[in-house]
Amino acid sequence: MTTSFFNGERIIVLVFISTILYSLPLSLLSHGVSLSLLALASFFLEISVDSSTSPFSLRTRPGASSGILLGAITLPSLILSKLIQSSRGFSLQQLQPQEIEYLTLQYWATSASVFSVLLFLAFTLRCSHRGVKLSLSFVFFQAVLCVAALLTTSQIGLHPALKLSWVFFHGLASVKLIQHFMRTFPSCASIGEAFLVTAGIVLYFGDMLLLTIEKLCGLLVSSELVTADEIKRSEINIIIQGLVLGLLLYPVALKYILQIWEWFINTTYSKQRRYYEIGRSLIFIASLGFALIVIVPLWMQFVQEFDMHPFFWVLSFVFSEPSKRLSLCMYWMCIISVSVLRFYNISKNSKIERILLRKYYHLIAVLMFSPALIFQPKFLDLAFGAALAVFLILEIIRVWRIWPFGQPITQFMNAFTDHRDSDLLIVSHFSLLLGCALPIWMSSGYNDRPLAPFAGILSLGIGDTMASMVGHKYGVLRWSKTGKKTIEGTAAALVLSISSRDCKWFVGGLHSAT
């Protein structure tokens, strides 16, 4: 093997999984066995991929490890952790059984996505490495366990055939999506990163799709398809979910709209460059506006009743506490304006490595999000969704080169990118935003861990920043021979994160007291 059997990342991931398994109640024993099988399958497959010399059909980000283990177990681990927390709430009679049952269905759907992609990767890897055979064995046992659990339990009252079909849909969609992602954006992500993105999108879309199907079916299948709307969902969650999924689906529609338009102008007018670009821009603006103003809000109102148009609901929510929420908006705009202008000039003229310059944005994220998380958590939820939507729109404009903004956005973003980004797709700003937002979004509903929403801000804003700075300047002992991560950097991240956690606990206590 060209890589060691254990490196720092694998050890940390396995310790994390062991911690989850140690906290499992007996009622979730099958889920723990499932997570263990997924971890073993992805562990041996990662070793096989990293040590293989045979060509791999999927073009991944150059210089990056495969990251299969981390990409495979992240979502199942998060959902299982949420299940453990929910089981405590259920024992205290603070949760309805339908909520746990629906979360259980999501766990098995996510597990199906993971082992389906692992199976696809194992057959894609053209080698007969022993690790691939072991991985296939664990995938087989995981699939058998998943089917047995779905046939013997009663998640949200679904018929066993419907449950198996639903889970099969997640697995097939994940395989198709990761193939599409890696072929459309080659060399933009490692396998683990693509794994995590595709599984998350499928799970997120599946949740909204189940709501939509249930509304369409109505009373005709109410005895079979119990109700995802029995699960309490806030208007903010539906708005974010509908907006993000609408923007993710929009490029598919845009592709066909532009193809029809290009065919029309080729048969009617001479293709002059200037009018061609102007026409593309007008079509983009009109179609995007129609999608965001008409189609997406109608989807939101269909799955959940709003008293008004979702756009006006957002305005009403913001102006319900105008002094606090508008002040936060002004505070954010000031920080963003000053930091972007400052670091844009530094990145063009300074010889400091980009990776260190970008860590300053992690510290800025702490300054921006911590006060809002303490004093206005619901508004921060909505703001994260709006920021994610803006990022998606800007990336669509950049990738599709929409005149006149496509080229300036590309030039501006290139000032903040490094070797981990490519011209095809830039994901660093998405990683930072989602890293801070997901712990907050996942802490909605029942949560008996007050510091859980701060996990992303602490780990990315402080821990990751200190790890890079300390590791870059003082790091000597590396976790692996091929990687750049150092033990000194990891130690600095742990110490600073723990210290910051204590500060957050103190500030949060003061806010609660006042």
Q: Are 164 and 96 in contact (CB under 8 A)?
A: no
pLDDT in tens, 89-111: 877 777 777 788 888 989 999 99
pLDDT of residue 48: 84
Q: What are the CA-CA distances from residue 293 to residues 55, 279, 390 (Å)?
A: 47, 21, 15
Least confident of 77-86, 107-116, 500-509: 500-509
State mean pLDDT over 459-472: 75
Long-range Cβ contacts of 387-392 (<8 Å, 24+ apart)? 387/433, 388/240, 388/244, 388/430, 388/433, 388/434, 388/437, 389/243, 389/244, 389/247, 391/429, 391/430, 391/433, 392/244, 392/247, 392/248
pLDDT of residue 35: 94
pLDDT of residue 223: 41
SS3 string, 53-66, reads: CCCCCCCCCCCCCC
**Alpha-carbon distance 509 to 514, whole Å?**
9
**φ and ψ of 5, to 5 deg:** -65, -40
pLDDT of 233 over the 80 cut:
no
State mean pLDDT over 216-221: 60
State mean pLDDT over 433-440: 89
State mean pLDDT over 31-35: 94
**Alpha-carbon distance 319 to 12, whole Å?**
45
Burial 393-429 (b: 16+ CB within 10 A, else e): ebbbbbbeebbeebeebbeebeebbeebbbeebbbbb
Burial 79-103 (b: 16+ CB within 10 A, else e): bbbbbbbbbebbeeeebeebbbbbb
pLDDT of residue 482: 57
pLDDT of 481 over the 80 cut:
no
When pLDDT is cut at 50, 70 and 90, the band that residue 507 belongs to is: very low
pLDDT of residue 513: 38
pLDDT of residue 138: 93
pLDDT of 415 over the 90 cut:
no
When pLDDT is cut at 50, 70 and 90, the band that residue 476 belongs to is: low
pLDDT of 355 over the 80 cut:
no
Contacts of residue 433, defined as CB under 8 A and 6 or more positions apart, other chains included, come to 384, 387, 388, 391
Q: Which residue has the higher pLDDT, 252 or 263?
A: 252
When pLDDT is cut at 50, 70 and 90, the band that residue 419 belongs to is: low
CA-nearest of 2, 12, 13, 117 to 48 is 2
Long-range Cβ contacts of 14-19 (<8 Å, 24+ apart)? 14/39, 14/43, 16/77, 17/73, 17/77
Least confident of 61-75, 144-158, 301-315, 400-414: 144-158
pLDDT of 295 over the 50 cut:
yes
**Alpha-carbon distance 385 to 129, whole Å?**
44
pLDDT of residue 508: 45
Work out the burial of residue 317: count CB atoms within 10 Å of its CB; fewer than 13 is exposed, 13-18 middle, 19 or more buried: middle
State mean pLDDT over 156-172: 82
Average pLDDT, the chain: 81
pLDDT of residue 242: 93
pLDDT of 356 over the 70 cut:
no
pTM of the model: 0.87
pLDDT of residue 240: 94
When pLDDT is cut at 50, 70 and 90, the band that residue 183 belongs to is: confident
Least confident of 82-96, 99-113, 430-444: 82-96
pLDDT of 298 over the 60 cut:
yes
Which residue do the tokens 């990056």 mark? 64
State mean pLDDT over 243-268: 85
pLDDT in tens, 336-350: 888 877 776 766 666
Work out the burial of residue 265: count CB atoms within 10 Å of its CB; fewer than 13 is exposed, 13-18 middle, 19 or more buried: middle
pLDDT of residue 514: 40
CA-nearest of 27, 121, 113 to 73 is 113
- Give the orientation angle of helix 296-303 with respect to helix 235-268, to 10 degrees: 150
Tell me the range of 182-186, 300-304, 411-415 where mean pLDDT is highest. Answer: 300-304
- Rg for the chain (alpha carbons), in Å? 24
pLDDT of 154 over the 70 cut:
no
First to last CA, the chain: 59
pLDDT of residue 204: 92
Q: Are 153 and 181 in contact (CB under 8 A)?
A: no
| Joined tokens for residue 339 | 């930091």
pLDDT of 201 over the 90 cut:
yes
**Alpha-carbon distance 12 to 9, whole Å?**
5
| Joined tokens for residue 60 | 């991944």
